[in-house]
Chain A
Amino acid sequence: MPLKSQHLLGLEGMPREDIELILETASTFREVLERPIKKVPTLQGMTVANLFFESSTRTRTSFELAERRLSADVVNFGVVGSSVSKGETLKDTAQNIEAMKVDMVVIRHSASGAPHFLSKVLRSVIINAGDGWHEHPTQALLDMYTLKEKFGKIDGLRIGIVGDISHSRVALSNIYGLRAMGAVISVCGPATLIPRQLGDLGIAVHYDIDEVLCNVDALIVLRIQLERHAEALFPSVREYHLRYGITRERLEKAEHPIAILHPGPINRDVELSADVADSEHSLILQQVLNGVAVRMAVLYLLGTARSDHK
C-alpha cells in the first residue's frame, strides 16, 4: 500500500513521505490536465460515490472532474430531496449506496468525525471532502501543492492563516499538513474565533494582521461566515473587514510580496478585497486547477491500493 492509510480521513498524523507522494503524483496528473485529451484509464471499472451532505459547488465539481478524468464511474448524492430529508440516518444512506457495489466514497458532512464513522461501517475507501470543523485534507494538499509550485519548497516557508480559525477545517488540515512539511505557521483572527488552546499545536497566535503580514511569505485567507455575528463571535462584517480584511494598502505596507491563497468561495470586500483577489499576488485560480490534479492523485493512490487488495 503506497499510503499508510487505506482512507484519506485527515492530515493529522499523516507521515511526511505520504504527503510528498501525493504531491508528486499530483504533479503527474497536473500534466494530464494540459493535454488536449484530459483522460487516463487508471480507475476504469471503479465506482465512486460523492456523498455531499453539505451543499458545495467547487469541491464537488473538482472531485467529479478528477473522478471522470481517471475514467471512474461517478454517482452523485446530494441532500436536497433525498432520503436524508425524509429522516434516513447517515449510516443507512451510506450502506444503501455501498450495497450497489460502490468502491470509493467521497463524503462531505457537517459532523466532525462523519468520515471516521463511515470508515467503521462501510467497506469502501473513504475520502474526507470536509467534515464539520475538523479536516478538509484535499484542500490543504492542494494548498501545499500550490505553495510548492510557487516557492519550490515548503520547508521553512512562513505561512499565515487568517480568519475564523475555530470553525475552519481548512485551517486545521493546513496546520497539520504544513507542520509535517516543515513550514512555520502563524494564525491570525479575532480572539473569539481562535480556539483557546490552539497554540499548544506549536503555532504562533496573533490578533494583529499587520504584524503577521510583515513576517509571512504566503497568506491563506479564510472565508468568514457572515452569520457568526449572531452568535456573539464578532460584531459585524464591517468591523471584521476593517481589522482583518486583506486589501492592497495592507499588502503594500508589508513591503515584500505575499502570495494570497483562499479556499473559496470569496466574500469579496469582506476578508479579501476584489482588487487583491484578481491581482498578481493571488494564487486562487491556480489552487482551483491544482485541486483537480491533487484529487486525481488521492483517488489514484487509494483506488489502486484497493484494487490491488482484491
Chain B
Amino acid sequence: MLNVLLHNGRVICPETNTDDMLDVLILEGVIADVGRSLTTKKSLETHDLRGKIVAPGFLDMHVHLREPGYEHKETIETGCAAAAAGGFTGVCCMPNTNPPIDNESTVRFVKRKAAAIMGGLVDVFPIAAVTKGREGKELAPIGELYEAGAVAFSDDGSPVANAEVMRRALEYVKMFDAPIIQHAEEVSLTKGGAMNEGFVSTAIGMPAMPPIAEELIVARDIALVKYIGGRYHVAHVSTAGSLELVRRAKTQGLRVTCEVTPHHFTLTDEAVRGFDTNRKMNPPLRTQDDIEAIKAGLRDGTIDVIASDHAPHSFDEKQVEFISAPFGIVGLETAVALAITELIAANVLTWLQLVRKFSVAPRSILQLVVPKIQPQEKANLTLLDPEIQWVVDVNKFKSKSKNSPFHGKRLTGKAVGIINNGILHLTKD
C-alpha cells in the first residue's frame, strides 16, 4: 500500500481554497495529513517536491481509446499509459469503438480492462452512445448503460442530428442525471469539408466547414434544453458564436456546460496551409478571433473544462492527401503543457482556475467524486513541474499513435507524476 510523504510542494486545491507550500502525508493510499513541515518516521519514502505543484488528480473527459476494434491506433493499455504520462488520473472514453459502447457488455469490457492496467492507476469512465450504433435514430439502452458504469452519453464523432431524437434523449436522461455530450455539427453544411471555412480555405482551395454548422446545433440544442430540461455539454467548443450561445444559456440558468481542447486555444486555420494532416480535426482549427473568444470564455467561466479530444490515428492513415485523411490528433501527453504555456504565462487563467478546469469541473459535470487534498480523502493527485521547458518529441509518446501537430514545439510545464488508487507513478522519459 502507498505510504509516502510529499514534501515542500505547492498544494493547489480549489475545493479547499488552498494555494500554499505544504507537505502531504499519504498512508495506506489515503491522505493522512496536510500541513507545514510534517514530521514522520525516518523510513518513510519522501519526495522533495520543491518547485512542483501538487493538485487534485486531473481528469480528461474526452478521449478516444479506440479499443475495442481499432487497436492499431491505440489500446486501453497504451491510452492509459499516455494519460498517466500526461498527468491524468482519470479519463472518459468515447463510444465510437467497434463494437460501439452502446451495450452494457462493452461498458464492462472497457472498465474491466482498464482496472487491470498499471495496477488500476488510471480510472477509465466510459461514455456510452446516445443512440444504437451511434446511428442517430433509436435511443441506446441508456438505463442499462448507466447501471453498468457509463457516466455520460454521446454519439461523438457524429452529432445527434435529428431534433426529435435529441429531444427524447434529453428527456430520458433526466432520469439518470447524466449529461448528453453533443458533437455539435450540422452535417448538411459541412459535407465534404476538411477545414474551417474562412480566408485560408479560400486561399488554398479546400472544401470547408463553416462555423455556423457548430452554432446552429448548439442553438437548437439549447432551445431543446430550455423546453425539456436535462443536462447538456458541448464537446470541443470551437467558435466565438457557440460561446456566446453557451454564455447566454448559463445566465438563463440552463444546465449547459462545455469543454475546449488545447489545440483550439493554440492553433488557427493558418496552420493548415502546407496541408499537414496533423492539423486536420473536427471541429477544425478556427481563427484568431475564435481563440480570443475561447480565452475570454475560459476566464469568465463560460468554458467549464479543458479536455484533449485525444484521437489517435496510425501513421499510414494520416500519410495521405489532406481531404482523405481521418480527423483528429492525439492530445493526452501535451494537453496540460499547452494549457500551462498558453494560459498561465499570458494570465488567461490563474493556477487555481486552471486546476479547476482539469480536475474539479469535469468531475462535477459527470457526478464523480471530486478529489480534495485534505485528510481522509483518497490520494488522487497530479504532480506538475510548472516551469520546466521541454520540446515535444512524438517518438517518446506512450500513445501508440504519434499524430500531433506539436512535434518539435517548445512548451513550458509538464506533469511529473500522478498518484491514484494507492500507486505513485512518476513519469520517466
Contact residues of B between 10 and 49, Cβ < 8 Å to A: none
Contact residues of A between 78 and 134, Cβ < 8 Å to B: 89-91, 109, 111-114, 116-117, 121, 131-134
Given A90-B321, A91-B320 in contact, is the A112-B204 Cβ separation under 8 Å?
yes
Q: Render A236-258 as a binary contact track against B, CB cut-off 8 A, 1 for contact.
A: 00000000000000000000000
Further contacts, 6 of them, CB under 8 A, given A112-B205, A112-B323, A116-B275: A90-B320, A111-B323, A112-B275, A117-B321, A172-B205, A197-B202
**What number of residue pairs across chains A and B have CB atoms under 8 A from each other?**
61
B275 proximity list for chain A (CB < 8 A): 112-113, 116-117
Given the complex of chains A and B, what is the CA–CA distance between A102 and B183 in angstroms? Answer: 46
Q: Is the CB of A201 closer than 8 A to any CB of chain B?
A: yes
A111 proximity list for chain B (CB < 8 A): 321-324
B140 proximity list for chain A (CB < 8 A): none
Verify B207–A133 contact, CB threshold 8 A: yes
Q: Is the CB of B197 closer than 8 A to any CB of chain A?
A: yes
Q: Of the candidates B202, B206, B274, B321, which one forms a contact with A201 in the assembled complex, judged by CB atoms under 8 Å apart?
A: B202
Q: Is the CB of A200 closer than 8 A to any CB of chain B?
A: yes
Q: Is the CB of B105 closer than 8 A to any CB of chain A?
A: no
In the complex, 13 of the A-B residue pairs with CB atoms within 8 angstroms, ordered by the A residue number, are: A12-B204, A91-B319, A111-B322, A112-B275, A113-B204, A113-B321, A116-B275, A117-B321, A117-B322, A132-B207, A133-B205, A200-B199, A200-B202
Verify A112–B206 contact, CB threshold 8 A: yes
B192 closest partner in A (C-beta) = A231
Q: Is the CB of B119 closer than 8 A to any CB of chain A?
A: no
Main secondary structure of the interface of A (DSSP, over half): mixed
Contact residues of B between 195 and 228, Cβ < 8 Å to A: 197-199, 201-207
B188 closest partner in A (C-beta) = A232
Verify A121–B319 contact, CB threshold 8 A: yes
Q: Render A177-214 as a binary contact track against B, CB cut-off 8 A, 1 for contact.
A: 00000000000000000011110110000000000000
Given the complex of chains A and B, what is the CA–CA distance between A14 and B254 in angstroms? Answer: 53
Q: Is the CB of A135 closer than 8 A to any CB of chain B?
A: yes
> Which of A132, A169, A198 has the most C-beta atoms of chain B within 10 angstroms of its own C-beta?
A132
Verify B319–A114 contact, CB threshold 8 A: no
Given A116-B274, A117-B275, A200-B199 in contact, is the A133-B320 Cβ separation under 8 Å?
no
B321 closest partner in A (C-beta) = A111
A172 proximity list for chain B (CB < 8 A): 203, 205
A194 closest partner in B (C-beta) = B202
Which 5 pairs between the two chains have the least Cβ-Cβ distance? A113-B275, A134-B205, A111-B321, A133-B205, A195-B202
Given the complex of chains A and B, what is the CA–CA distance between A109 and B321 in angstroms? Answer: 10
A195 proximity list for chain B (CB < 8 A): 201-202
B206 proximity list for chain A (CB < 8 A): 112-113, 132-134
Contact residues of A between 18 and 69, Cβ < 8 Å to B: none
Task: Give me the interface of B with A, judged by CB distance under 8 Å.
Answer: 197-199, 201-207, 274-275, 319-324
Verify B203–A201 contact, CB threshold 8 A: yes
Verify A135–B202 contact, CB threshold 8 A: no
B324 proximity list for chain A (CB < 8 A): 111
Given the complex of chains A and B, what is the CA–CA distance between A198 and B323 in angstroms? Answer: 21
Given the complex of chains A and B, what is the CA–CA distance between A111 and B323 in angstroms? Answer: 6
Q: Of the candidates B197, B205, B320, B323, which one forms a contact with A89 in the assembled complex, judged by CB atoms under 8 Å apart?
A: B320
A117 proximity list for chain B (CB < 8 A): 275, 320-322
Verify A112–B203 contact, CB threshold 8 A: no
* Smallest beta-carbon distance B270→chain A, Å: 13
* Smallest beta-carbon distance A171→chain B, Å: 9
Given the complex of chains A and B, what is the CA–CA distance between A91 and B198 in angstroms? Answer: 29
B205 proximity list for chain A (CB < 8 A): 112, 131-135, 169, 172
A131 proximity list for chain B (CB < 8 A): 205
Given the complex of chains A and B, what is the CA–CA distance between A91 and B320 in angstroms? Answer: 7
Given the complex of chains A and B, what is the CA–CA distance between A111 and B324 in angstroms? Answer: 8
Given the complex of chains A and B, what is the CA–CA distance between A90 and B319 in angstroms? Answer: 9
Given the complex of chains A and B, what is the CA–CA distance between A197 and B204 in angstroms? Answer: 12
Given the complex of chains A and B, what is the CA–CA distance between A84 and B320 in angstroms? Answer: 13
B272 closest partner in A (C-beta) = A113
Given the complex of chains A and B, what is the CA–CA distance between A135 and B202 in angstroms? Answer: 11
A53 closest partner in B (C-beta) = B321
Q: Of the candidates B199, B319, B320, B321, which one forms a contact with A197 in the assembled complex, judged by CB atoms under 8 Å apart?
A: B199
Given the complex of chains A and B, what is the CA–CA distance between A90 and B321 in angstroms? Answer: 8
Given the complex of chains A and B, what is the CA–CA distance between A89 and B319 in angstroms? Answer: 9
* Smallest beta-carbon distance A47→chain B, Å: 24
Given the complex of chains A and B, what is the CA–CA distance between A93 and B254 in angstroms? Answer: 54
B320 proximity list for chain A (CB < 8 A): 89-91, 117
Given the complex of chains A and B, what is the CA–CA distance between A222 and B378 in angstroms? Answer: 69
B321 proximity list for chain A (CB < 8 A): 90, 109, 111, 113-114, 117
B208 closest partner in A (C-beta) = A195
> Which of A12, A112, A114, A131 has the most C-beta atoms of chain B within 10 angstroms of its own C-beta?
A112
Given A111-B324, A117-B322 in contact, is the A197-B198 Cβ separation under 8 Å?
yes
Given the complex of chains A and B, what is the CA–CA distance between A134 and B273 in angstroms? Answer: 12
A197 proximity list for chain B (CB < 8 A): 198-199, 202
B206 closest partner in A (C-beta) = A112
